[in-house]
Structure 1
Amino acid sequence: MNFINNHIKIYAFTALCSGIFFSCAQKPLHIASKEVKSEIKGKISTQLPWSQRMLQSEIKRFPEAWMLDYNKNPKWSYPTAIVLEGAEKLYEKTGNKEYYNYITKFGETMVKEDGTIVSYDLSKYNIDMLNCGNVLLYLYEKEKKEKYLKALQTLRSQIDGQPRTSEGGFWHKKIYPNQMWLDGLYMGEPFYANYTHEFSKGADAEKAYDDIVNQFDLIQKHLLDKKTELLYHAWDESKEQAWANKETGLSPNFWSRAMGWYGMAMVDVLDYLPQNHPGRAKLISYLKSYTDAVIKVQDKETGLWYQVLDKGSEKGNYLEATGSSMFVYVMMKSVNKGYLPTSYKAYAKKGYDGIIKNLISVDENGVVNLNQCCAVAGLGGTPYRSGSYEYYVNEEIRSNDPKGTGPFILASLEFEK
């Protein structure tokens, strides 16, 4: 039986899930404003490498970067930063000004002249809001605009006020007390490390780097499943949440994208952590055990990963694009950087080929689509998200989610080196 029959069919153009196993509560996809026109004209060439084909497709779909994630209005939102990181790397590689324009227009729109950030509210202490700071670090380095520096200082001040667990771990949001989520490590630590690398010196820098490494230490201490070496999505120190195990405080499942965020956090923080910092060796050891665990749950037929990682054979589970793209990026970057032996490239390549074969479709105009992306998943909140298996497999599925297209661009760049 071929892949399509074995798994859930997700149509690229409608982004509706029609699998025989389950039905998803779908939301209509937002169409980007017609007033804004893309700079990418005509057909996207199939002769370009996948990294550029996907970025150009994103620019066609979302002519303004704030539209990524199907936003209707300008919004300070973490998924944008992942696609723009790909744009940064591709601009440096190709010199294509259209890629740089895509980044700088985002900065111009989202940061006012007085340094205030559109839609950002410091008082919410939402760690997701820090990730886009990486875009401003890039723009400030290039353009030295005072408004970007002021915005960066505001974001850095959030770290100082971010509520913490008893051991110093960042709460995911102020409205999620006592909770550390795997997602938060990617949302906060690469920006924290990048900012520290650019602006901090001496004892201040050392203290910040120690704080960053401590976040990973706490995740390994509290969220790691010693049997599988996979990590649970979240941990509630107070053990008060309905989703939390009353003995351990852990959420009940291994969500693909949460694990993906955590892996990306490790490889990206290592870009900034000083070579002589004792935390480097520790992070690389965490990365090795993490990757070994991820490989054990890699689908042998396709090379992809399931939405709930360890339950591939259960009803309703599906091969998911965002987590798969993240795992491939983490592995290939780790091999290229020397964190993992070259033997790991085979697993990354199998995953990457699996994405292109099973999850990519190309329109007549050359626009590339990434299909079978989980749109969103979390814990708690209103309406309440239980973290159950049924919860994860019934969240909305759509095409071209930037939480997948961004990592796909970054993974492609690692393979194109």
Structure 2
Amino acid sequence: MKKYIIFALLPLLFTACRQHQDSKATLWSHKMVDSHGLGDFYCNRHYQSKLDSTGWDYVSGLVAGAVLETWKQYPEKEEYYRSVKAFADLNLNEDGTMIMNSKGGSALRPSNIDDLPAGRIYFTLYEEELRKGNTKDAERYRNAVDLIRNTLKYDHSRIATGLPGAGGFFHKAVYPNQMWLDGLYMGSPIYAQWESTFGITDSVENKASWNDIALQFKTIHQKTYNADKQLNYHAWSATPADSNSFWANQRDPFIGCSQEFWARGMGWYFAALIDVLEFMPKNHSSYPEIVDIANQVATGLKRWQDDGSGLWYQLLQYDASMTADGKGDTVVGEVYNIGNAPNYLESSASSIFTYAYLKGIRLGILDKAIYLPTAEKAYHGILETFIKEQPNSSKIDIVQSCASAGLGPAKDPSRTGTINYYLAGKDVTIVENEGKAIGTFILASLEYERLNDNDR
């Protein structure tokens, strides 16, 4: 009888093994680029049919950057490079001195840090076109990254001397004296890559720039990190009494902080730490401190990883039993964010956490023995929970992404930063095939594929 059972189960075992091998062999980076990276995605709920005809935006830039990273890892995919180059050229003037919006004006709005990170693609384009001998385009791309770095370093509004956090970059001009976790990803990595690529090592200016980059992380971590929860609040205001900071805590502890730990905000922050440390000189006096901050973030996120799925919730410190309260938030006599939506596992944050863990391990910033199980469990959880095969198609979709989230300003009192807001706010809807999930999933997949290649 035992032999009969074993023989009867053999076909099932062979099938399971084959499916596991197929899953390991699948290049999910390619599948997502082919499904949505070259087009058919959303930027903050605005549909984009093709990448090469999409306007300048941090979301389209994230997708383009992820597609370009896929080409770098798999250079035979020349169509990926061509698509990103077309996107870059569409949004750049003849000599690279202006990044353009759809109306022909500058796409770099005054002190808007979200307008900067798409420019990271220009480093690779510069290097590749220079290698090909196309000096005209190479010069254009160099001009573009110079423009972005200089715009941030010299022209972007900062918290003024005399206020807490002096020298910190505003998230945007409409959010005066506010730093958001998101903003560390939008500004610091392109600043760091410029200094590493084009800065004159050990010059006075170069040293000042690295000090400036380190200051951004030191400031926001000091202000937003809750050591008991091991998480960072989404944002902090140096002037919490300002009407644009109505969402901010008005008293100690954590004065100026927002109320909740938003997953994608922490994802941007974690990725920013790892991406900046890739370029930061190891002999810089602040390097050990930034590494320590990255490890604090990694430790906290490991603590709040969902045991069953390996993923993370929209609001990190709660599980699905937490819901919006059905009563909403009252601001100056008006009620907003009414609903009873539950907390949910969120795809873009889970993807970018996975990317940051795997890249941090690869770079030696994070301990492989401690964090690789966390990252691998997360990646398999993403495939299981968020990646859906389209019927009768080779394409895949990625689901359960938060469309967007923010705080204020005064003219938008619905963005309160409460549990109700992050779960039931009018702009905080759950969507699929959002560029923020597509791009981060591609980046996580590239790191996972690289890991497996190294292990073979």
Q: Give the TM-score of the pair, scaled to structure 2.
A: 0.78
- In 1, Cα distance between the equivalents of 2:85 and 2:362? 29
Partner of 1:174: 173
Q: Give the TM-score of the pair, scaled to structure 1.
A: 0.85
Correspondence 1:230 to 2:231: yes
Return the offset for 1:279: 2.1
Correspondence 1:368 to 2:377: no
Contact 1:69 1:80 in 2 (8 A): no
Partner of 2:326: none
Of the three residues 112, 115, 138, the one matched with 1:129 is 115
* Structure 1 gaps, min length 5: 1-44
Partner of 2:159: 165
What root-mean-square deviation, in Å, do the aligned CA atoms of Structure 1 and Structure 2 show?
A: 2.1
Partner of 2:302: 295
- In 1, Cα distance between the equivalents of 2:268 and 2:229? 18
Correspondence 1:220 to 2:206: no
Return the offset for 1:114: 3.8
What secondary structure does 1:70 align onto? strand
- In 2, Cα distance between the equivalents of 1:123 and 1:129? 7
Correspondence 1:83 to 2:63: yes
Contact 1:360 1:370 in 2 (8 A): yes
Supply the AA of the counterpart residue of 2:85.
T
- In 2, Cα distance between the equivalents of 1:84 and 1:69? 16
Q: 1:56 to 1:175 in 2, by over 3 A?
A: same
- In 2, Cα distance between the equivalents of 1:351 and 1:46? 15
- In 2, Cα distance between the equivalents of 1:409 and 1:256? 18
Supply the AA of the counterpart residue of 2:58.
Y
Q: 1:340 to 1:59 in 2, by over 3 A?
A: closer
- In 2, Cα distance between the equivalents of 1:60 and 1:352? 23
Supply the AA of the counterpart residue of 1:288.
N
Partner of 2:338: none
Return the offset for 1:360: 0.8
Supply the AA of the counterpart residue of 2:421.
Y
Return the offset for 1:82: 2.3
Contact 2:54 2:87 in 1 (8 A): no
Return the offset for 1:149: 2.8
What secondary structure does 1:186 align onto? helix
- In 1, Cα distance between the equivalents of 2:435 and 2:40? 10
- In 1, Cα distance between the equivalents of 2:184 and 2:159? 14
- In 1, Cα distance between the equivalents of 2:91 and 2:149? 17
Contact 1:54 1:409 in 2 (8 A): yes
Partner of 1:155: 148
Partner of 1:386: 416
Bigger-Rg structure (1/2): 2
What secondary structure does 2:279 align onto? coil
What secondary structure does 1:192 align onto? helix
Return the offset for 1:412: 1.1
Return the offset for 1:76: 1.3
The sequence identity of aligned pairs, in percent, is: 36
What secondary structure does 2:193 align onto? helix
Contact 1:55 1:87 in 2 (8 A): yes
Partner of 2:250: 246
- In 2, Cα distance between the equivalents of 1:333 and 1:310? 24
What secondary structure does 2:226 align onto? coil
- In 1, Cα distance between the equivalents of 2:112 and 2:265? 17
Supply the AA of the counterpart residue of 2:250.
K
Contact 1:223 1:232 in 2 (8 A): yes
Greater shift in the superposed pair: 86-95 or 294-303: 86-95
Contact 2:398 2:437 in 1 (8 A): yes
- In 1, Cα distance between the equivalents of 2:28 and 2:109? 40
Return the offset for 1:354: 0.8
What secondary structure does 2:207 align onto? helix
**Regions of 4+ moved over 6 Å:** 65-68
Q: 1:60 to 1:262 in 2, by over 3 A?
A: closer
- In 2, Cα distance between the equivalents of 1:57 and 1:198? 33
Contact 2:37 2:63 in 1 (8 A): no
Of the three residues 111, 124, 142, the one matched with 1:138 is 124
Contact 1:192 1:212 in 2 (8 A): yes
Supply the AA of the counterpart residue of 1:92.
K
Higher relative contact order (CA 8 A, sep 6+): 1
- In 2, Cα distance between the equivalents of 1:60 and 1:74? 10
Q: 1:242 to 1:329 in 2, by over 3 A?
A: same
Q: 1:59 to 1:335 in 2, by over 3 A?
A: closer
Partner of 1:399: 432
- In 2, Cα distance between the equivalents of 1:276 and 1:354? 37
Provide, for residues 279-309 of structure 1, a one-character-per-residue CA deviation record: whole Å limited to 9, x for no partner: 2211111111111111111111111111011
Partner of 2:347: 321
What secondary structure does 2:100 align onto? coil
Return the offset for 1:150: 2.9
